[in-house]
Amino acid sequence: MRDLTALLGRCLIAALFLAGALQKAMDPAPVMGLLADHGLPTALVWPALVYNAAAGLALILGWRLGPVALSAALYCMFTSWFHFLPADPWQMTIFVKNWAIAGGLLCLAAGGGGGWRIR
């Protein structure tokens, strides 16, 4: 049961990254707007898309799980900055969720991802 729950947990977290990659591919304008609003090059949407897709797939497969989960946690912490808008409750919810996801990824990095993974 432990291996199954670990795989399901990895897949659920990975779904966020894969959905983020798909969203960036289908409609990059909102992310480009966030980047521009923070003075960053809008072209950063493309490496973010690639990272989201690669991290999502690596989490599902369990490939290099410690480093991938750690980098994904740092990614969530960094990207939470874009949503820190105290006057907007919806954005603050996303901000807090990013930190919660980072916490889960740190636990995954520390505790491993079960036996059903590529080593």
Domain contains 117: no
pLDDT score at 118: 87
Task: Give the tens place of pLDDT for each residue, 76-105.
Answer: 999 999 999 999 999 999 999 999 999 999
pTM for this one? 0.93
Task: Give the tens place of pLDDT for each residue, 65-75.
Answer: 999 999 999 99
pLDDT score at 116: 85
Task: State the total domains in the chain.
Answer: 1
Domain contains 104: yes
**Side-chain half-sphere exposure of 41, counting CA atoms within 13 A:** 5
Range of the domain at 67: 2-111
